[in-house]
Structure 1
């Protein structure tokens, strides 16, 4: 159905961006159907997050 269509044309047809399509394609190639499942967008790390001592002070513990 879409084989051979330019990625920009496919993106317009389905109301998304070329970047999203490329991300989904890479995830599908790497992980198969499971790669298309919704994922958290939360960062894996937070380098500027204060330490547990500061959090305890802020939270009144």
Structure 2
């Protein structure tokens, strides 16, 4: 993913998949190292991961 500025990140954040968010977070941590953007990417990534894991857990309980 290209270098994000705050406005462009907010504009596309809700459209990114979990994998795309992880890639963007990894790129931010490796190259740009901006704490505010890394924090926001991690918040969104964590929320998506948690939702996915919760669905998997609930499916496991139904068996």
- The question of a shared fold, defined as TM-score above 0.5 by the shorter chain, is answered with no
The structure that is helix-richer by fraction is 2
Structure of greater relative contact order (alpha carbons < 8 Å, 6+ residues apart): 2
| TM-score, with length taken from structure 2 | 0.29
